[in-house]
A and B are shown apart, each in its own frame.
Chain A
Amino acid sequence: MVEFSTILAGFADAFSLYNLLFVLFGVVLGQFVGAVPGIGPIMAMAIAIPFTFGLDPLPAIAFLVGVNKGGLVGGAVPAVLMNTPGTPDAAATAMDGYPLAKQGKPLKATKMALFSSVTGDTFSDIVLITVSAPLAILALKMGPVEVCALMIFAFSILAGLIGNSLAKGIIAACLGLLAASIGQDPENFTPRLIFGYWDLFGGLALPSVAIGMLAISEILHRLSEAHGNLRPAIVAKDTGNPADRRVSWAEYWSCRYTMLRGATIGTILGALPGIGSTAAAFMSYAMTKASSKEPETFGKGNIQGIAASESANSAVVGANLIPLLTLGIPGSVGAALIISAFTIHGMQPGPLLFENQGRLVYGLFGAMIMANFVNLWVGQLGLRLWVKVVSAPESIIFSSALLLCFVGVSMATNGLFGVTIMLIFAVIGYLMASFGYSLVIFIIAFFLGPRFEKSIAQSLALTNGDLTQVLKSPVAVALLVLSAVSVVWFLKKNAQENPA
């Protein structure tokens, strides 16, 4: 168990002025990129990771968390004003936000999005802080056999939940595992699949692969569709009524159950690897509409709709870190990118993190809580400014993003070889996305691959190759059964969705 003095020291680190500045910078950057359709917090995090190389671990990770949290708030701005979600998570927000803006209440809509987002996010952070340490203690009791079974379970969940085809999900996972095989074999340390390139002996760098697949491939896609003209920013009418420019306490309080429901859905889905905030937002929206006494008002500018969507999608951010910090399994692309930041600073996320880096973990928790307040404050001040951001031309955004990716990856991998790998994976990512193969599964499988193989080797050593020994571990058996049930369930679901 982490000592109370360590917890206090972590929070003290988090609330230092130095750290606060990085959280503030991260939130401002996140809200800015979230407001620009097509960039989003994930791409911003991917680009920013190498630039955190020179920072201490806590400000570096707090900065990235700030980008992620700010991005979700910023994403609501174009969704509300232009019916163009800045991030996929904000798609459900547009359903009621845009009609409300058209009624002459754009500021009320964006402020409701901001308040619900911060509420949902804070709820999920409190859950994260409360449950992650006990879960980590439980995770530490798991041996290689249980870890191996857990990995299999994670893969089965991921493959089924992302994409419309289980086979395609499996292919994406296989490709990620194959990419992870490049470099040293984890047991014998012999070179494997390096094709004579000794730069590959240490394996493919996570920043190269992640930035290539997530940022560059998306930029390439956007570049091919770009036209260089300013997108027409919406000219929002104003009713002239001050009450339409703010959210009153009564309006906020009337949404309390909606936000609580959204935050709960977001937290539960966020804690499960691979589901994501978009699904949480739509599920919360649907449940709110279904339980409403006036379902016909949804889609016409009901603030309950905005509250449902934003509280749920923001609650996912904190909850995503539960599997990451307790089991070392990234629950989302954002969490996978935060792993890059951990590894850049020489740390391995997982249950041992609480034991070895307890102060840092609680510093991160403190930074997350602080980021919520900063998000609220920056949002209140910056909403009018972000409205102007939505009209920034794509030409400057994407050319600058490409240059930043080149420099960032070069810094993280010490040269242009890493940049070349990044471009190769950008092409792979672009083609995979074009043909409907999940990039998220690829990235998570790529990260989990070496640990998965190592746990297999350790399990075999422990059981002397006798697989019946697995039956002596109830946890492993339960996880393997769950994996089998998941696969069967997803196959059935897939068959129903795609009838022959």
Chain B
Amino acid sequence: MTTTADRISGLFFMLLGLAMYFWVNPNFIETVESGNIAPATLPNIISIILAISGAYVAIKPTTHQTRNPVLMAKTALYVALLCIGIWAMSKLGFEYVAPGLALAIMWLIGERRPLWLGLGVIAMPLLIWFLVSEVLGRALP
């Protein structure tokens, strides 16, 4: 598993470096005639080093232990939840989304105690709102 993980990540970075060099950099960096160093020079050099280093990691993997795939899948669930949270904030605003987001996170963790749920879902968003809007006078997302 550990060797495979390093080979996979090494291969990924090798392909990323190659993709950056052959496709991304030529298409998404403007060409400039003057100057001492062209805009694409450093990204191109970095891409080559990235590809070579990736190949090296793939060929000579370390003994690094990756995280448990089940935990990584669980993390993906939280990331999805945060994405929904950001999207909802763009539509409704922090004040309406924060309690629901906090509740969802706490519930997923396994928190069921009313006192702690109340603190996380009501008290904390209220405190943030007070601190940002009233004390600092800044806009919430």
The complex places the Cα of A191 from the Cα of B31 at a distance, in Å, of 10
Does the CB pair A229–B110 fall under 8 Å?
A: yes
In this complex, what residue of A is CB-closest to B24?
A: A193
Distance of A436 from chain B, by nearest CB (Å): 4
Classify the secondary structure of A's interface with B. helix
Are A395 and B110 interface neighbours, CB within 8 A?
Answer: yes
CB neighbours of B89 from chain A (8 A): 406, 416, 419
A411 within 8 A of B: yes
CB of A423 within 8 A of CB of B128, answer no
Number of interface residues of A (CB under 8 A): 67
Task: Verify A174–B110 contact, CB threshold 8 A.
Answer: no
When the two chains form the complex, which single residue of A164, A190, A396 contacts B32, counting CB atoms closer than 8 Å? A190
Within 8 A of A (CB), among B89-140: 89-90, 94, 98, 101-102, 105-106, 108-113, 116, 119-120, 124-125, 128, 131-132, 136-140
Contact B30 A190 (CB under 8 A): yes
- Interface membership of A427, Cβ < 8 A: yes
Chain B residues in 8 Å Cβ range of A268: none
For residue A410, CB closer than 8 A to chain B, the reply is yes
Judging by beta carbons under 8 Å apart, are A224 and B94 in contact? no
A167 near B132: Cβ-Cβ < 8 Å: no
- Which residues of the partner chain B approach A226 to less than 8 Å between Cβ atoms? 109-110
Say yes or no: A400 contacts B124, CB within 8 Å: yes
For the complex, what is the distance from the CA of A427 to the CA of B79, rounded to whole Å? 8
CB distance from B90 to the nearest CB of A (A): 5
Known contacts A167-B53, A423-B79: A465-B86 contact under CB 8 Å:
no
- A232 on the B face (CB < 8 A): no
Complex-state Cα separation, A190 to B46, whole angstroms: 19
Whether the Cβ atoms of B109 and A192 lie closer than 8 Å is: no
A-contact 0/1 string along B10-25, CB 8 Å cutoff: 1001000100100011
User: Are B141 and A393 within 8 A (Cβ)?
Assistant: no
The residue from A54, A177, A224 contacting B46, defined by CB atoms under 8 A apart? A177
A187 part of interface (Cβ distance < 8 Å): yes
Instruction: Check B83 against A423 for contact (C-beta < 8 Å).
Output: yes
Question: Is A399 a contact partner of B106 (Cβ separation < 8 A)?
Answer: yes
Of A174, A192, A458, the residue contacting B39 (CB under 8 A) is A192
A125 interface residue per 8 A CB criterion: no
- Asked, given contacts A51-B136, A395-B110, whether A453 binds B37 with beta carbons under 8 Å apart, the answer is yes
Contact of B5 among A426, A430, A435 (CB under 8 A): A435
**Does A326 have its Cβ within 8 Å of any Cβ on chain B?**
no
A457–B53 contact, CB under 8 A? no
Q: Are B124 and A177 in contact (CB under 8 A)?
A: no
The reply to whether A220 and B79 contact each other, CB–CB distance below 8 Å, is yes
Q: Are B57 and A167 in contact (CB under 8 A)?
A: yes
A188 & B136 in contact (Cβ 8 Å cutoff): no
Q: Kindly state the separation between the CA atoms of A434 and B72 in the bound complex, as whole angstroms.
A: 9
B104 to chain A, nearest CB (A): 9
How many Å from the CB of B31 to the closest CB on chain A?
A: 9
B119 touches A54 (CB 8 A): no
Looking at the assembled complex, report how far the CB atom of B131 sits from the nearest CB atom of chain A, in whole angstroms.
8
Contact of A407 among B37, B132, B137 (CB under 8 A): B132
The residues of B that contact A456 with a CB separation of less than 8 Å are 37, 42
Contact B128–A191 (Cβ < 8 Å): no
Cβ–Cβ < 8 Å partners of A121 in chain B: none
Any B CB within 8 A of the CB of A135: no
| A193:B28 contact, CB within 8 angstroms | yes
Q: How far, in angstroms, from A225 to B5 measured CA to CA in the complex?
A: 21
Q: Given that A224-B78, A407-B128 are contacting pairs, would A436 and B64 also be in contact in the complex, using a CB cutoff of 8 Å?
A: yes
Query: Which chain B positions have C-beta within 8 A of A398?
Result: 105, 109
**Closest Cβ of chain A: how far from B53's Cβ, in Å?**
5
Residues of A156-186 contacting chain B, CB below 8 A: 164-165, 167-168, 170-171, 174-175, 177-178, 181, 185
Q: Flag whether A221 is at the interface (Cβ < 8 A).
A: yes
B141 touches A395 (CB 8 A): no
Q: How far is the CA of A453 from the CA of B53 in the complex (A)?
A: 21
**B110 contacts A227, C-beta separation under 8 Å:** yes
Interface residues of B in 19-66 (CB under 8 A from A): 20, 24-25, 28-30, 32, 34-37, 39-40, 42-43, 46-47, 49-50, 53-54, 56-57, 60, 62-64, 66
Say whether, besides A190-B30, A416-B86, A403 and B112 are in contact (CB < 8 Å).
no
- B75 adjacent to A221 (CB under 8 Å): yes
Q: Which residues of B contact A403 (CB under 8 A)?
A: 98, 101-102, 124-125, 128
CB distance from A37 to the nearest CB of B (A): 15
Q: How far is the CB of B117 from chain A (nearest CB, A)?
A: 8
A224 and B2 alpha carbons, distance in the complex (Å): 20
CB-CB under 8 A from A471, the residues of chain B are none
Tell me whether A404 is interfacial, beta carbon within 8 Å: yes
Q: Which residues of A lie under 8 Å from residue B13 when comparing CB positions?
A: 171
Q: Is the CB of A187 within 8 A of B37?
A: yes
Q: Lowest 5 A-B CB distances belong to which pairs?
A: A228-B110, A436-B64, A395-B111, A185-B39, A410-B141
Residues of A within 8 A of B (CB): 51, 53-54, 164-165, 167-168, 170-171, 174-175, 177-178, 181, 185, 187-188, 190-195, 220-221, 223-229, 393-396, 398-400, 402-404, 406-407, 410-411, 415-416, 419-420, 423, 426-427, 430, 434-437, 453, 456-458, 460-461, 465, 498, 500
Point out residues on B near A: beta carbons under 8 Å: 5-6, 9-10, 13, 17, 20, 24-25, 28-30, 32, 34-37, 39-40, 42-43, 46-47, 49-50, 53-54, 56-57, 60, 62-64, 66-67, 71-72, 74-75, 78-79, 82-83, 85-86, 89-90, 94, 98, 101-102, 105-106, 108-113, 116, 119-120, 124-125, 128, 131-132, 136-141
